[in-house]
Structure 1
Protein backbone atom coordinates (compact mmCIF):
# COMPACT_ATOMS: atom_id res chain seq x y z
CA UNK A 1 0.00 0.00 0.00
CA UNK A 2 1.20 3.53 -0.77
CA UNK A 3 2.88 4.74 2.43
CA UNK A 4 2.32 8.41 1.57
CA UNK A 5 -1.40 7.79 1.18
CA UNK A 6 -1.53 5.90 4.49
CA UNK A 7 0.25 8.75 6.28
CA UNK A 8 -1.99 11.34 4.65
CA UNK A 9 -5.12 9.35 5.49
CA UNK A 10 -3.93 8.89 9.08
CA UNK A 11 -3.32 12.62 9.49
CA UNK A 12 -6.78 13.33 8.06
CA UNK A 13 -8.32 10.97 10.61
CA UNK A 14 -6.42 12.71 13.44
CA UNK A 15 -7.71 16.08 12.22
CA UNK A 16 -11.25 14.69 12.13
CA UNK A 17 -10.98 13.37 15.70
CA UNK A 18 -9.60 16.69 16.94
CA UNK A 19 -12.39 18.62 15.23
CA UNK A 20 -14.97 16.21 16.59
CA UNK A 21 -13.75 16.89 20.12
CA UNK A 22 -13.70 20.60 19.32
CA UNK A 23 -17.40 20.47 18.38
CA UNK A 24 -18.23 19.02 21.81
CA UNK A 25 -16.09 21.63 23.61
CA UNK A 26 -17.72 24.44 21.62
CA UNK A 27 -21.19 23.07 22.33
CA UNK A 28 -20.41 22.95 26.04
CA UNK A 29 -19.15 26.56 26.07
CA UNK A 30 -22.24 27.76 24.21
CA UNK A 31 -24.56 25.82 26.52
CA UNK A 32 -22.90 27.44 29.52
CA UNK A 33 -23.23 30.88 27.94
CA UNK A 34 -19.49 31.51 28.13
CA UNK A 35 -19.04 32.78 24.55
CA UNK A 36 -20.98 33.95 21.53
CA UNK A 37 -19.89 32.35 18.23
CA UNK A 38 -18.06 35.39 16.84
CA UNK A 39 -16.27 35.95 20.15
CA UNK A 40 -15.06 32.37 20.39
CA UNK A 41 -13.94 32.31 16.76
CA UNK A 42 -11.88 35.48 17.26
CA UNK A 43 -10.14 34.38 20.47
CA UNK A 44 -9.58 30.89 19.09
CA UNK A 45 -7.78 32.08 15.97
CA UNK A 46 -5.72 34.73 17.77
CA UNK A 47 -4.60 32.38 20.56
CA UNK A 48 -3.92 29.46 18.23
CA UNK A 49 -2.17 31.68 15.69
CA UNK A 50 0.11 33.23 18.32
CA UNK A 51 0.89 29.82 19.81
CA UNK A 52 1.54 28.31 16.40
CA UNK A 53 3.89 31.16 15.42
CA UNK A 54 5.91 30.65 18.61
CA UNK A 55 6.10 26.90 17.95
CA UNK A 56 7.15 27.58 14.37
CA UNK A 57 10.01 29.86 15.41
CA UNK A 58 11.11 27.30 17.98
CA UNK A 59 11.38 24.44 15.48
CA UNK A 60 11.82 26.11 12.05
CA UNK A 61 12.79 29.74 12.51
CA UNK A 62 14.31 30.04 9.02
CA UNK A 63 11.12 29.00 7.24
CA UNK A 64 9.02 31.28 9.43
CA UNK A 65 11.09 34.30 8.43
CA UNK A 66 11.06 33.37 4.74
CA UNK A 67 7.35 34.19 4.62
CA UNK A 68 8.16 37.91 4.60
CA UNK A 69 10.79 37.73 1.86
CA UNK A 70 8.31 37.07 -0.92
CA UNK A 71 5.25 39.20 -1.57
CA UNK A 72 3.62 36.28 -3.38
CA UNK A 73 4.04 33.91 -0.42
CA UNK A 74 2.90 36.53 2.08
CA UNK A 75 -0.15 37.33 -0.03
CA UNK A 76 -1.18 33.68 -0.37
CA UNK A 77 -0.71 32.98 3.35
CA UNK A 78 -2.66 36.11 4.31
CA UNK A 79 -5.40 35.03 1.91
CA UNK A 80 -5.48 31.56 3.47
CA UNK A 81 -5.87 33.19 6.89
CA UNK A 82 -8.81 35.26 5.70
CA UNK A 83 -10.33 32.10 4.21
CA UNK A 84 -9.96 30.31 7.56
CA UNK A 85 -11.86 33.11 9.23
CA UNK A 86 -14.47 33.22 6.46
CA UNK A 87 -14.99 29.46 6.72
CA UNK A 88 -15.70 29.84 10.46
CA UNK A 89 -17.82 32.97 10.09
CA UNK A 90 -20.00 31.70 7.25
CA UNK A 91 -20.55 28.36 9.01
CA UNK A 92 -21.66 30.11 12.20
CA UNK A 93 -24.09 32.24 10.21
CA UNK A 94 -25.41 29.15 8.39
CA UNK A 95 -26.09 27.54 11.77
CA UNK A 96 -27.60 30.77 13.13
CA UNK A 97 -30.12 30.97 10.30
CA UNK A 98 -30.87 27.22 10.36
CA UNK A 99 -29.33 24.74 12.80
CA UNK A 100 -26.13 22.77 13.33
CA UNK A 101 -27.36 19.76 11.36
CA UNK A 102 -28.17 21.85 8.30
CA UNK A 103 -24.76 23.53 8.50
CA UNK A 104 -23.04 20.14 8.60
CA UNK A 105 -24.94 19.03 5.50
CA UNK A 106 -23.53 21.95 3.51
CA UNK A 107 -19.97 21.14 4.61
CA UNK A 108 -20.46 17.52 3.55
CA UNK A 109 -20.52 18.79 -0.04
CA UNK A 110 -16.96 20.13 0.15
CA UNK A 111 -15.38 16.95 -1.34
CA UNK A 112 -17.70 17.19 -4.36
CA UNK A 113 -16.98 20.89 -4.83
CA UNK A 114 -13.25 20.17 -4.52
CA UNK A 115 -13.44 17.39 -7.11
CA UNK A 116 -15.38 19.57 -9.57
CA UNK A 117 -13.02 22.51 -8.98
CA UNK A 118 -9.93 20.37 -9.65
CA UNK A 119 -11.52 18.67 -12.66
CA UNK A 120 -12.13 22.07 -14.25
CA UNK A 121 -8.75 23.53 -13.28
CA UNK A 122 -6.67 20.47 -14.19
CA UNK A 123 -8.99 19.14 -16.92
CA UNK A 124 -9.27 15.70 -15.33
CA UNK A 125 -12.55 13.81 -14.88
CA UNK A 126 -13.96 13.02 -11.44
CA UNK A 127 -13.11 9.40 -10.61
CA UNK A 128 -15.90 6.86 -10.10
CA UNK A 129 -14.41 5.78 -6.76
CA UNK A 130 -14.49 9.35 -5.45
CA UNK A 131 -18.10 9.74 -6.62
CA UNK A 132 -19.11 6.57 -4.74
CA UNK A 133 -17.29 7.70 -1.61
CA UNK A 134 -18.95 11.11 -1.81
CA UNK A 135 -22.40 9.50 -1.84
CA UNK A 136 -21.48 7.39 1.19
CA UNK A 137 -19.94 10.32 3.07
CA UNK A 138 -22.69 12.86 2.36
CA UNK A 139 -25.44 10.32 3.02
CA UNK A 140 -23.76 9.21 6.22
CA UNK A 141 -23.41 12.78 7.50
CA UNK A 142 -27.09 13.42 6.68
CA UNK A 143 -28.14 10.35 8.68
CA UNK A 144 -25.88 11.26 11.60
CA UNK A 145 -27.09 14.85 12.02
CA UNK A 146 -30.80 14.10 11.43
CA UNK A 147 -31.23 10.53 12.79
CA UNK A 148 -33.50 10.02 9.77
CA UNK A 149 -35.82 12.92 10.62
CA UNK A 150 -35.13 15.29 7.73
CA UNK A 151 -37.76 17.74 8.97
CA UNK A 152 -35.10 18.91 11.45
CA UNK A 153 -33.22 20.48 8.53
CA UNK A 154 -34.13 24.14 8.05
CA UNK A 155 -33.54 25.74 4.67
CA UNK A 156 -34.11 29.45 4.14
CA UNK A 157 -32.60 31.84 1.57
CA UNK A 158 -30.10 33.12 4.14
CA UNK A 159 -29.17 29.66 5.44
CA UNK A 160 -28.61 28.43 1.88
CA UNK A 161 -26.48 31.48 1.05
CA UNK A 162 -24.29 31.16 4.14
CA UNK A 163 -24.14 27.36 3.88
CA UNK A 164 -22.89 27.48 0.30
CA UNK A 165 -20.44 30.23 1.27
CA UNK A 166 -19.08 28.09 4.12
CA UNK A 167 -18.55 25.11 1.81
CA UNK A 168 -16.72 27.17 -0.83
CA UNK A 169 -14.62 28.92 1.84
CA UNK A 170 -13.53 25.54 3.22
CA UNK A 171 -12.63 24.30 -0.27
CA UNK A 172 -10.73 27.48 -1.11
CA UNK A 173 -8.74 27.25 2.13
CA UNK A 174 -7.76 23.67 1.26
CA UNK A 175 -6.58 24.58 -2.24
CA UNK A 176 -5.10 28.09 -2.09
CA UNK A 177 -1.95 27.46 0.04
CA UNK A 178 -0.89 24.12 -1.49
CA UNK A 179 1.98 25.46 -3.62
CA UNK A 180 3.15 27.77 -0.84
CA UNK A 181 3.31 24.79 1.53
CA UNK A 182 5.55 22.97 -0.93
CA UNK A 183 7.99 25.90 -0.86
CA UNK A 184 7.88 26.90 2.83
CA UNK A 185 6.53 23.85 4.66
CA UNK A 186 3.26 23.26 6.48
CA UNK A 187 4.21 24.86 9.81
CA UNK A 188 5.00 28.31 8.39
CA UNK A 189 1.88 28.41 6.23
CA UNK A 190 -0.52 27.17 8.91
CA UNK A 191 0.88 29.27 11.75
CA UNK A 192 0.96 32.59 9.92
CA UNK A 193 -2.31 31.82 8.13
CA UNK A 194 -4.21 31.21 11.36
CA UNK A 195 -2.56 34.24 12.98
CA UNK A 196 -3.57 36.48 10.05
CA UNK A 197 -7.07 34.99 10.24
CA UNK A 198 -7.21 35.98 13.90
CA UNK A 199 -6.19 39.54 13.02
CA UNK A 200 -8.93 39.65 10.37
CA UNK A 201 -11.49 38.54 12.97
CA UNK A 202 -10.78 41.63 15.10
CA UNK A 203 -12.65 43.68 12.50
CA UNK A 204 -15.90 42.46 14.06
CA UNK A 205 -14.84 41.63 17.63
CA UNK A 206 -12.72 43.35 20.30
CA UNK A 207 -10.69 40.43 21.68
CA UNK A 208 -9.44 42.29 24.77
CA UNK A 209 -12.98 43.21 25.83
CA UNK A 210 -14.17 39.65 25.24
CA UNK A 211 -11.31 38.07 27.21
CA UNK A 212 -11.91 40.45 30.11
CA UNK A 213 -15.65 39.74 30.22
CA UNK A 214 -15.46 35.92 30.12
CA UNK A 215 -16.08 33.95 33.33
CA UNK A 216 -12.96 31.76 33.20
CA UNK A 217 -14.05 28.78 35.28
CA UNK A 218 -11.69 25.76 35.29
CA UNK A 219 -13.97 23.91 32.85
CA UNK A 220 -14.26 26.92 30.54
CA UNK A 221 -10.48 27.28 30.54
CA UNK A 222 -10.07 23.55 29.81
CA UNK A 223 -12.58 23.69 26.93
CA UNK A 224 -10.89 26.76 25.45
CA UNK A 225 -7.45 25.20 25.87
CA UNK A 226 -8.58 22.08 24.01
CA UNK A 227 -10.12 24.20 21.26
CA UNK A 228 -6.88 26.13 20.77
CA UNK A 229 -4.34 23.30 21.14
CA UNK A 230 -6.04 20.19 19.74
CA UNK A 231 -8.99 21.62 17.80
CA UNK A 232 -6.93 24.25 15.99
CA UNK A 233 -3.14 23.84 16.18
CA UNK A 234 -2.95 20.03 15.93
CA UNK A 235 -6.03 19.66 13.70
CA UNK A 236 -5.05 22.28 11.12
CA UNK A 237 -1.43 21.11 10.96
CA UNK A 238 -2.53 17.52 10.35
CA UNK A 239 -5.16 18.66 7.84
CA UNK A 240 -2.82 20.77 5.73
CA UNK A 241 0.03 18.26 5.99
CA UNK A 242 -2.32 15.57 4.65
CA UNK A 243 -3.10 17.85 1.69
CA UNK A 244 0.59 17.75 0.75
CA UNK A 245 0.52 13.95 0.71
CA UNK A 246 -2.81 12.96 -0.87
CA UNK A 247 -5.56 14.40 -3.05
CA UNK A 248 -7.66 17.23 -1.56
CA UNK A 249 -10.72 15.24 -2.61
CA UNK A 250 -9.56 12.21 -0.60
CA UNK A 251 -8.81 14.44 2.39
CA UNK A 252 -12.26 16.00 2.17
CA UNK A 253 -13.90 12.58 2.09
CA UNK A 254 -11.93 11.31 5.09
CA UNK A 255 -12.60 14.49 7.08
CA UNK A 256 -16.31 13.63 6.85
CA UNK A 257 -15.43 11.50 9.89
CA UNK A 258 -15.66 14.71 11.94
CA UNK A 259 -19.41 14.53 12.71
CA UNK A 260 -18.99 10.84 13.51
CA UNK A 261 -16.26 11.53 16.06
CA UNK A 262 -18.27 14.46 17.44
CA UNK A 263 -21.20 12.17 18.14
CA UNK A 264 -19.00 9.60 19.85
CA UNK A 265 -17.48 12.32 22.05
CA UNK A 266 -20.99 13.57 22.81
CA UNK A 267 -22.00 10.09 23.92
CA UNK A 268 -18.95 9.70 26.13
CA UNK A 269 -18.84 13.20 27.61
CA UNK A 270 -22.32 14.70 27.31
CA UNK A 271 -24.47 11.59 27.77
CA UNK A 272 -26.19 11.76 24.38
CA UNK A 273 -27.57 8.62 22.72
CA UNK A 274 -26.99 7.34 19.20
CA UNK A 275 -30.09 6.27 17.24
CA UNK A 276 -30.34 3.39 14.76
CA UNK A 277 -30.31 5.63 11.68
CA UNK A 278 -27.31 7.49 13.11
CA UNK A 279 -25.51 4.15 13.50
CA UNK A 280 -26.17 3.47 9.81
CA UNK A 281 -24.76 6.92 9.03
CA UNK A 282 -21.63 6.17 11.04
CA UNK A 283 -21.20 2.90 9.13
CA UNK A 284 -21.56 4.74 5.80
CA UNK A 285 -18.92 7.33 6.70
CA UNK A 286 -16.53 4.62 7.93
CA UNK A 287 -17.18 2.60 4.76
CA UNK A 288 -16.22 5.67 2.72
CA UNK A 289 -12.84 5.83 4.48
CA UNK A 290 -12.22 2.07 4.27
CA UNK A 291 -13.06 1.89 0.55
CA UNK A 292 -10.91 4.93 -0.19
CA UNK A 293 -7.97 3.40 1.69
CA UNK A 294 -8.21 -0.17 0.39
CA UNK A 295 -8.52 0.96 -3.22
CA UNK A 296 -5.08 2.60 -2.90
CA UNK A 297 -3.39 -0.79 -2.55
Structure 2
Protein backbone atom coordinates (compact mmCIF):
# COMPACT_ATOMS: atom_id res chain seq x y z
CA UNK A 1 0.00 0.00 0.00
CA UNK A 2 1.62 3.25 -1.03
CA UNK A 3 1.78 6.28 1.23
CA UNK A 4 -0.55 8.61 -0.73
CA UNK A 5 -3.31 5.97 -0.84
CA UNK A 6 -3.02 5.32 2.89
CA UNK A 7 -3.01 9.05 3.61
CA UNK A 8 -6.19 9.42 1.58
CA UNK A 9 -7.82 6.59 3.55
CA UNK A 10 -6.93 8.22 6.86
CA UNK A 11 -8.38 11.55 5.73
CA UNK A 12 -11.57 9.86 4.51
CA UNK A 13 -12.34 7.88 7.67
CA UNK A 14 -11.52 10.75 10.03
CA UNK A 15 -13.59 13.21 7.99
CA UNK A 16 -16.50 10.77 7.74
CA UNK A 17 -16.52 10.11 11.50
CA UNK A 18 -16.42 13.82 12.30
CA UNK A 19 -19.27 14.53 9.85
CA UNK A 20 -21.40 11.76 11.38
CA UNK A 21 -20.84 13.01 14.93
CA UNK A 22 -21.50 16.64 14.04
CA UNK A 23 -24.52 15.59 11.95
CA UNK A 24 -26.29 14.37 15.09
CA UNK A 25 -25.69 17.69 16.82
CA UNK A 26 -26.95 19.63 13.79
CA UNK A 27 -30.07 17.40 13.79
CA UNK A 28 -30.69 18.47 17.40
CA UNK A 29 -30.47 22.07 16.23
CA UNK A 30 -33.10 21.33 13.58
CA UNK A 31 -35.43 19.89 16.22
CA UNK A 32 -34.96 23.05 18.26
CA UNK A 33 -35.94 25.04 15.16
CA UNK A 34 -39.25 23.15 14.90
CA UNK A 35 -38.43 20.38 12.41
CA UNK A 36 -40.41 17.17 13.03
CA UNK A 37 -38.29 14.05 13.65
CA UNK A 38 -40.48 11.91 11.35
CA UNK A 39 -40.14 14.38 8.48
CA UNK A 40 -36.36 14.66 8.95
CA UNK A 41 -35.77 10.89 9.06
CA UNK A 42 -37.99 10.35 6.00
CA UNK A 43 -36.18 12.92 3.86
CA UNK A 44 -32.76 12.03 5.22
CA UNK A 45 -33.19 8.39 4.24
CA UNK A 46 -34.78 8.99 0.83
CA UNK A 47 -32.32 11.63 -0.38
CA UNK A 48 -29.19 9.97 1.02
CA UNK A 49 -30.30 6.60 -0.39
CA UNK A 50 -30.81 8.00 -3.89
CA UNK A 51 -27.44 9.76 -3.75
CA UNK A 52 -25.65 6.53 -2.77
CA UNK A 53 -27.25 4.66 -5.67
CA UNK A 54 -26.24 7.47 -8.03
CA UNK A 55 -22.64 7.07 -6.83
CA UNK A 56 -22.89 3.32 -7.45
CA UNK A 57 -24.30 3.92 -10.94
CA UNK A 58 -21.60 6.43 -11.83
CA UNK A 59 -18.51 4.65 -10.53
CA UNK A 60 -19.14 0.99 -9.74
CA UNK A 61 -21.04 -2.06 -11.03
CA UNK A 62 -24.36 -0.47 -12.03
CA UNK A 63 -25.96 -3.85 -12.84
CA UNK A 64 -26.17 -4.57 -9.09
CA UNK A 65 -28.64 -1.74 -8.54
CA UNK A 66 -31.51 -3.71 -10.08
CA UNK A 67 -29.84 -7.11 -9.85
CA UNK A 68 -30.32 -7.22 -6.09
CA UNK A 69 -34.09 -7.53 -6.65
CA UNK A 70 -33.95 -10.49 -9.05
CA UNK A 71 -33.49 -13.10 -6.33
CA UNK A 72 -36.62 -13.46 -4.15
CA UNK A 73 -34.70 -14.49 -1.03
CA UNK A 74 -32.25 -11.61 -1.37
CA UNK A 75 -35.08 -9.16 -2.07
CA UNK A 76 -36.93 -10.27 1.07
CA UNK A 77 -33.76 -9.97 3.16
CA UNK A 78 -33.20 -6.47 1.79
CA UNK A 79 -36.74 -5.46 2.76
CA UNK A 80 -36.23 -6.77 6.30
CA UNK A 81 -32.87 -5.02 6.52
CA UNK A 82 -34.37 -1.75 5.28
CA UNK A 83 -37.26 -1.79 7.77
CA UNK A 84 -35.89 -3.46 10.90
CA UNK A 85 -32.26 -2.45 10.34
CA UNK A 86 -31.82 0.87 8.56
CA UNK A 87 -35.13 2.54 9.47
CA UNK A 88 -34.95 1.33 13.07
CA UNK A 89 -31.37 2.57 13.50
CA UNK A 90 -32.02 5.97 11.96
CA UNK A 91 -35.34 6.63 13.70
CA UNK A 92 -34.35 5.52 17.20
CA UNK A 93 -31.11 7.51 16.98
CA UNK A 94 -32.89 10.68 15.88
CA UNK A 95 -35.65 10.22 18.47
CA UNK A 96 -33.01 9.91 21.21
CA UNK A 97 -31.42 13.14 19.98
CA UNK A 98 -34.79 14.89 19.93
CA UNK A 99 -35.58 14.00 23.55
CA UNK A 100 -32.00 14.34 24.79
CA UNK A 101 -28.92 15.37 22.85
CA UNK A 102 -26.55 14.03 20.20
CA UNK A 103 -23.81 13.21 22.71
CA UNK A 104 -25.92 10.85 24.82
CA UNK A 105 -27.65 9.35 21.77
CA UNK A 106 -24.35 8.58 20.04
CA UNK A 107 -22.74 7.10 23.14
CA UNK A 108 -25.77 4.87 23.84
CA UNK A 109 -25.79 3.74 20.21
CA UNK A 110 -22.15 2.72 20.60
CA UNK A 111 -23.23 0.09 23.13
CA UNK A 112 -24.17 -2.05 20.11
CA UNK A 113 -20.85 -4.00 20.13
CA UNK A 114 -21.51 -5.08 23.72
CA UNK A 115 -25.03 -6.16 22.74
CA UNK A 116 -23.54 -8.21 19.90
CA UNK A 117 -21.14 -9.89 22.33
CA UNK A 118 -24.04 -10.79 24.65
CA UNK A 119 -26.12 -12.08 21.72
CA UNK A 120 -23.30 -14.31 20.50
CA UNK A 121 -22.71 -15.59 24.03
CA UNK A 122 -26.40 -16.52 24.34
CA UNK A 123 -26.17 -18.27 20.98
CA UNK A 124 -23.04 -20.04 22.25
CA UNK A 125 -21.05 -18.78 19.27
CA UNK A 126 -18.29 -17.31 21.44
CA UNK A 127 -16.79 -17.68 24.91
CA UNK A 128 -16.47 -14.99 27.57
CA UNK A 129 -12.91 -13.75 28.11
CA UNK A 130 -11.27 -11.30 30.51
CA UNK A 131 -11.20 -8.71 27.75
CA UNK A 132 -14.95 -9.15 27.28
CA UNK A 133 -15.40 -8.59 31.02
CA UNK A 134 -13.42 -5.33 30.85
CA UNK A 135 -15.41 -4.22 27.77
CA UNK A 136 -18.82 -4.89 29.34
CA UNK A 137 -17.73 -3.32 32.66
CA UNK A 138 -16.60 -0.13 30.93
CA UNK A 139 -19.93 0.02 29.07
CA UNK A 140 -22.01 -0.44 32.24
CA UNK A 141 -19.99 1.98 34.36
CA UNK A 142 -19.91 4.50 31.52
CA UNK A 143 -23.69 4.32 31.08
CA UNK A 144 -24.28 4.71 34.82
CA UNK A 145 -22.17 7.87 35.03
CA UNK A 146 -23.46 9.25 31.73
CA UNK A 147 -27.14 8.86 32.59
CA UNK A 148 -27.09 9.66 36.33
CA UNK A 149 -24.11 12.05 36.61
CA UNK A 150 -23.16 10.09 39.73
CA UNK A 151 -26.52 10.48 41.51
CA UNK A 152 -28.69 7.38 41.90
CA UNK A 153 -31.68 9.44 43.05
CA UNK A 154 -32.40 10.99 39.66
CA UNK A 155 -31.51 10.66 36.01
CA UNK A 156 -29.57 13.51 34.40
CA UNK A 157 -30.95 12.53 30.98
CA UNK A 158 -34.70 12.39 30.10
CA UNK A 159 -36.07 8.85 30.25
CA UNK A 160 -37.40 8.89 26.63
CA UNK A 161 -33.90 9.79 25.40
CA UNK A 162 -32.46 6.81 27.30
CA UNK A 163 -35.09 4.38 26.00
CA UNK A 164 -34.68 5.51 22.38
CA UNK A 165 -30.88 5.49 22.77
CA UNK A 166 -30.83 1.91 24.06
CA UNK A 167 -33.22 0.87 21.27
CA UNK A 168 -30.80 2.56 18.86
CA UNK A 169 -28.00 0.35 20.16
CA UNK A 170 -30.18 -2.76 19.80
CA UNK A 171 -31.13 -1.71 16.26
CA UNK A 172 -27.49 -1.12 15.34
CA UNK A 173 -26.57 -4.56 16.68
CA UNK A 174 -29.28 -6.14 14.50
CA UNK A 175 -28.21 -3.97 11.55
CA UNK A 176 -24.60 -5.16 11.90
CA UNK A 177 -25.42 -8.85 12.21
CA UNK A 178 -28.18 -9.03 9.61
CA UNK A 179 -26.27 -7.13 6.92
CA UNK A 180 -23.39 -9.62 6.67
CA UNK A 181 -24.88 -12.06 4.09
CA UNK A 182 -26.13 -9.21 1.90
CA UNK A 183 -22.79 -7.40 1.93
CA UNK A 184 -21.02 -10.58 0.87
CA UNK A 185 -23.12 -10.67 -2.31
CA UNK A 186 -23.45 -7.01 -3.28
CA UNK A 187 -21.60 -3.70 -2.96
CA UNK A 188 -22.28 -1.87 0.28
CA UNK A 189 -23.50 1.23 -1.55
CA UNK A 190 -26.23 -0.85 -3.21
CA UNK A 191 -27.40 -2.51 0.01
CA UNK A 192 -27.31 0.62 2.15
CA UNK A 193 -28.69 2.85 -0.61
CA UNK A 194 -31.72 0.61 -1.16
CA UNK A 195 -32.16 0.08 2.60
CA UNK A 196 -32.34 3.84 3.09
CA UNK A 197 -34.91 4.21 0.31
CA UNK A 198 -37.00 1.34 1.73
CA UNK A 199 -36.94 2.87 5.21
CA UNK A 200 -37.71 6.35 3.94
CA UNK A 201 -40.55 5.08 1.74
CA UNK A 202 -42.12 3.16 4.66
CA UNK A 203 -41.94 6.19 6.95
CA UNK A 204 -43.52 8.32 4.20
CA UNK A 205 -46.86 6.68 5.02
CA UNK A 206 -46.61 8.15 8.54
CA UNK A 207 -45.16 11.52 7.54
CA UNK A 208 -45.08 12.25 3.77
CA UNK A 209 -41.90 14.14 2.81
CA UNK A 210 -43.91 16.89 1.08
CA UNK A 211 -45.86 17.76 4.25
CA UNK A 212 -43.83 20.36 6.10
CA UNK A 213 -44.27 23.59 7.99
CA UNK A 214 -42.76 26.27 5.74
CA UNK A 215 -42.93 28.78 8.60
CA UNK A 216 -40.13 26.92 10.37
CA UNK A 217 -37.76 27.22 7.43
CA UNK A 218 -35.09 29.89 7.52
CA UNK A 219 -31.85 30.02 5.57
CA UNK A 220 -30.06 28.60 8.62
CA UNK A 221 -32.59 25.74 8.78
CA UNK A 222 -31.98 24.97 5.10
CA UNK A 223 -28.18 24.90 5.59
CA UNK A 224 -28.52 22.62 8.64
CA UNK A 225 -30.80 20.30 6.68
CA UNK A 226 -28.33 20.10 3.78
CA UNK A 227 -25.52 19.31 6.21
CA UNK A 228 -27.46 16.49 7.92
CA UNK A 229 -28.49 14.84 4.64
CA UNK A 230 -25.37 15.40 2.53
CA UNK A 231 -22.50 15.53 5.00
CA UNK A 232 -23.93 13.87 8.12
CA UNK A 233 -25.46 10.92 6.27
CA UNK A 234 -24.42 10.32 2.66
CA UNK A 235 -20.81 11.55 2.70
CA UNK A 236 -20.14 10.22 6.23
CA UNK A 237 -21.09 6.70 5.16
CA UNK A 238 -19.47 6.93 1.73
CA UNK A 239 -16.13 8.15 3.14
CA UNK A 240 -16.09 5.35 5.71
CA UNK A 241 -16.73 2.70 3.06
CA UNK A 242 -14.12 4.18 0.73
CA UNK A 243 -11.53 4.24 3.54
CA UNK A 244 -11.73 0.44 3.66
CA UNK A 245 -10.09 0.39 0.22
CA UNK A 246 -6.80 1.58 1.72
CA UNK A 247 -7.08 0.84 5.45
CA UNK A 248 -7.78 -2.33 7.38
CA UNK A 249 -11.21 -2.69 9.04
CA UNK A 250 -9.45 -2.45 12.42
CA UNK A 251 -7.90 0.90 11.51
CA UNK A 252 -11.15 2.28 10.12
CA UNK A 253 -13.08 1.14 13.21
CA UNK A 254 -10.52 2.69 15.54
CA UNK A 255 -10.49 6.03 13.74
CA UNK A 256 -14.29 5.90 13.47
CA UNK A 257 -14.34 6.18 17.26
CA UNK A 258 -13.84 9.91 16.73
CA UNK A 259 -17.60 10.07 16.01
CA UNK A 260 -18.86 10.06 19.64
CA UNK A 261 -16.09 12.46 20.62
CA UNK A 262 -17.21 14.87 17.87
CA UNK A 263 -20.83 14.52 19.02
CA UNK A 264 -19.93 15.23 22.65
CA UNK A 265 -17.71 18.25 21.90
CA UNK A 266 -20.17 19.91 19.50
CA UNK A 267 -23.08 19.25 21.87
CA UNK A 268 -21.29 20.82 24.84
CA UNK A 269 -19.50 23.72 23.15
CA UNK A 270 -21.89 24.59 20.30
CA UNK A 271 -25.34 23.82 21.72
CA UNK A 272 -24.18 24.63 25.28
CA UNK A 273 -25.73 21.47 26.70
CA UNK A 274 -24.74 20.92 30.36
CA UNK A 275 -22.33 18.04 30.98
CA UNK A 276 -21.32 17.18 34.54
CA UNK A 277 -18.04 15.77 35.83
CA UNK A 278 -19.38 12.22 36.14
CA UNK A 279 -20.89 12.43 32.67
CA UNK A 280 -17.43 13.22 31.30
CA UNK A 281 -16.14 10.18 33.21
CA UNK A 282 -18.92 8.07 31.67
CA UNK A 283 -18.05 9.40 28.23
CA UNK A 284 -14.40 8.46 28.78
CA UNK A 285 -15.42 4.91 29.81
CA UNK A 286 -17.57 4.37 26.70
CA UNK A 287 -14.98 5.84 24.33
CA UNK A 288 -12.39 3.65 26.07
CA UNK A 289 -14.61 0.63 25.42
CA UNK A 290 -14.86 1.56 21.73
CA UNK A 291 -11.07 1.85 21.44
CA UNK A 292 -10.62 -1.45 23.24
CA UNK A 293 -12.92 -3.17 20.76
CA UNK A 294 -11.28 -1.52 17.77
CA UNK A 295 -7.63 -2.09 18.74
CA UNK A 296 -7.56 -5.82 18.29
CA UNK A 297 -8.93 -9.27 18.87
CA UNK A 298 -11.16 -9.37 21.90
CA UNK A 299 -12.85 -12.72 22.08
CA UNK A 300 -12.67 -16.26 20.85
CA UNK A 301 -15.12 -18.31 18.86
CA UNK A 302 -15.48 -22.05 18.98
CA UNK A 303 -14.17 -22.32 15.47
CA UNK A 304 -11.25 -19.92 15.82
CA UNK A 305 -9.78 -19.06 19.20
CA UNK A 306 -8.27 -15.89 17.75
CA UNK A 307 -11.33 -14.46 16.00
CA UNK A 308 -13.33 -11.64 17.55
CA UNK A 309 -17.13 -12.02 17.42
CA UNK A 310 -17.35 -8.53 15.98
CA UNK A 311 -14.84 -9.38 13.27
CA UNK A 312 -16.82 -12.51 12.48
CA UNK A 313 -19.84 -10.42 11.50
CA UNK A 314 -18.02 -7.68 9.61
Q: TM-score band, normalised by the shorter chain?
A: 0.7 to 0.9
Counterparts of 1:262 and 1:23, CA distance in 2? 7
Superposed, 1:87-126 pairs within 5 Å as 87-91=89-93, 99-100=100-101, 107-121=109-123, 123-126=125-128
In the alignment, what sits opposite 1:32? Answer: 33
Superposed, 1:88-237 pairs within 5 Å as 88-91=90-93, 99-100=100-101, 107-121=109-123, 123-144=125-146, 146-149=148-151, 151-153=154-156, 165-210=167-212, 213=214, 215-237=216-238
Whether the aligned pair in 1 keeps the contact of 2:146 and 2:282 (CA below 8 Å) is yes
Secondary structure, aligned partner of 1:205: coil
When the two structures are superposed, what TM-score results if normalisation uses the length of structure 2? 0.72
**Structure 1 position 24, deviation (Å):** 1.1
In the alignment, what sits opposite 2:49? Answer: 49
Counterparts of 2:258 and 2:72, CA distance in 1? 36
Whether the aligned pair in 1 keeps the contact of 2:41 and 2:94 (CA below 8 Å) is no
Unaligned runs of 5+ in 2: 1-7, 299-314
**Structure 1 position 204, deviation (Å):** 0.5
Counterparts of 1:217 and 1:184, CA distance in 2? 40
Indicate the structure with greater helix content: 1
Counterparts of 1:63 and 1:265, CA distance in 2? 38
Secondary structure, aligned partner of 1:176: helix
**Structure 1 position 231, deviation (Å):** 1.9
Whether the aligned pair in 1 keeps the contact of 2:57 and 2:65 (CA below 8 Å) is yes
Secondary structure, aligned partner of 1:168: helix
In the alignment, what sits opposite 1:4? Answer: none
Report how many aligned residue pairs link the two structures: 284
**Structure 1 position 293, deviation (Å):** 4.5
Distance 1:118 1:38, change over 3 A: same
**Structure 1 position 188, deviation (Å):** 0.9
- Deviation per CA, 1:143-178, whole angstroms, max 9, x where unpaired? 34554355235687x888756544332211111121
Instruction: Answer with 271-280 or 238-247: which moved more.
Output: 238-247
**Structure 1 position 8, deviation (Å):** 11
Distance 1:131 1:65, change over 3 A: farther
